[in-house]
């Protein structure tokens, strides 16, 4: 065996041992954690997640309380988790730091014990997956369970970063509430008025707003069950059941989208 082959084998072995890397950018504090370091973290433990959002069944993980990795983060801060595929989860720090309601965990995939694939021909939810115990206690939605996480960072609020998402100052309270629903349920995949960090799904206002091309009640039906309305095997948009997005909250979201159809920005 040549020295070059030996070196390559050693590098491959080292990479497999260390696993992936998670990058944290918490203001002035930056830290890179390897899978090996997180698996050996003093607060790491084995947990069970009932009704796992991604695997649709009970799953067991070795995980670290996410709050244990967020040095200096305060409840009033805003966090963002970025996935390898461009999915972006906006997370209020108060929910992540909470110790009495839903509890946030960073599940860590052991390279030696890989998790099952999410579907046939797909990768697993690893290397890092944000999971929740008792999610209903804090109204945690499925968009707040990002998998294949690569980076977590502390940022200004969504309204501060993207003013083009804001409704008119005199917009009804229903529309203002709809912006909150958009942030929680839509912004992980979509942009609106070109605003957002996700690279995952189409813009919802430029060049056209879905309220402009979905007739009658079809947009509501599409949000509830996309595949029921438009069958597409490659479609990745989940359905939002009433347990996740109530009828009242869905009405707020639709009112926000209709309002923003009249507040388009110029593309580019």
Distance between CA atoms of residues 159 and 25, nearest Å: 20
Distance between CA atoms of residues 11 and 16, nearest Å: 9
- Domain borders along the chain are 22-155, 159-260
What does the pLDDT look like over 142-152, one tens digit per residue? 889 999 999 99
**Domains 22-155 and 159-260 belong to one CATH topology:** no
What does the pLDDT read at residue 129?
98
Average pLDDT of the residues in 26-36: 93
Q: Which residues contact 181 (CB under 8 A, 6 or more apart)?
A: 245, 249, 250, 252, 253, 256
Angle between helices 173-185 and 247-260 (to 10 degrees): 100
Confidence check: pLDDT of 262 > 70: yes
User: Could you tell me if 63 and 41 are in contact, meaning their C-beta atoms sit under 8 angstroms apart?
Assistant: no
What does the pLDDT read at residue 234?
59
Calculate the average pLDDT of the chain. 88
Average pLDDT of the residues in 168-174: 96
What does the pLDDT read at residue 99?
82
Q: Using 50, 70 and 90 to split pLDDT, how confident is the model at 9?
A: very low
DSSP assigned state of 110: B
For residues 105 and 232, the model is more confident at 105
Distance between CA atoms of residues 199 and 61, nearest Å: 28
Average pLDDT of the residues in 107-130: 95
- Tell me the Ramachandran region of residue 185: left when phi exceeds 0, alpha when psi lies from -120 to 50, beta otherwise: alpha
Average pLDDT of the residues in 58-86: 95
What does the pLDDT read at residue 232?
67
What does the pLDDT read at residue 159?
87
Share of the chain above pLDDT 90, in %: 66
CA proximity to 205, closest of 189, 223, 190? 190
What does the pLDDT read at residue 251?
95
Distance between CA atoms of residues 164 and 192, nearest Å: 8
* Token pair 């080292």: residue: 14
What does the pLDDT read at residue 50?
92
Neighbours of 265 (CB within 10 A): 14
What does the pLDDT read at residue 6?
36
Which is the CATH superfamily of the domain at 159-260?
Cytochrome c-like domain (1.10.760.10)
Bridge partners of residue 32, in order along the sequence: 23
* Token pair 């409840």: residue: 75
Give the CATH number of domain 22-155. Answer: 3.90.420.10
Confidence check: pLDDT of 13 > 70: no
Token pair, residue 52, equals: 């796992």
What does the pLDDT look like over 185-230, one tens digit per residue? 898 889 999 998 887 789 999 999 999 999 878 999 999 988 777 7
CA proximity to 25, closest of 150, 153, 155, 151? 153
User: Could you tell me if 204 and 210 are in contact, meaning their C-beta atoms sit under 8 angstroms apart?
Assistant: yes
Strand, helix or coil for residue 61: strand
Distance between CA atoms of residues 128 and 23, nearest Å: 11
């Amino acid at each position: 065996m040549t020295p070059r082959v030996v070196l390559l084998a050693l590098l491959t072995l080292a990479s497999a041992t260390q696993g992936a890397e998670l990058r944290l950018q918490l203001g002035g504090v930056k830290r890179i954690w390897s899978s090996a370091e997180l698996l050996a973290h003093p607060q790491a433990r084995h947990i069970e997640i009932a009704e796992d959002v991604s695997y649709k069944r009970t799953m067991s993980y070795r995980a670290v309380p996410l709050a244990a990795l967020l040095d200096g983060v305060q409840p009033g801060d805003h966090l963002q988790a970025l996935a390898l595929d461009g999915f972006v989860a906006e997370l209020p720090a108060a929910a992540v730091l909470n110790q009495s309601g839903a509890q946030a965990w960073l599940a860590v995939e052991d390279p030696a014990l890989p998790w099952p694939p999410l579907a046939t021909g797909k990768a697993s939810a690893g290397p890092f997956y944000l999971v929740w115990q008792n999610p209903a206690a804090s109204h945690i939605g499925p968009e707040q369970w990002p998998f294949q996480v690569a980076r977590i960072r502390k940022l200004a609020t969504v309204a501060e970063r993207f003013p083009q998402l804001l409704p008119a100052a005199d917009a009804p309270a229903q529309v203002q509430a709809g912006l909150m629903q958009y942030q929680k349920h839509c912004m992980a995949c979509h942009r609106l008025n070109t605003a957002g960090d996700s690279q995952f799904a189409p813009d919802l206002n430029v060049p056209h707003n879905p309220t402009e091309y979905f007739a009658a009640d079809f947009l509501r039906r599409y949000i509830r069950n996309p595949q029921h309305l438009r069958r597409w095997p490659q479609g990745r948009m989940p359905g939002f059941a009433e347990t996740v997005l109530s009828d009242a909250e869905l009405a707020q979201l639709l009112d926000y989208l209709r309002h923003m159809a009249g507040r388009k920005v110029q593309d580019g």
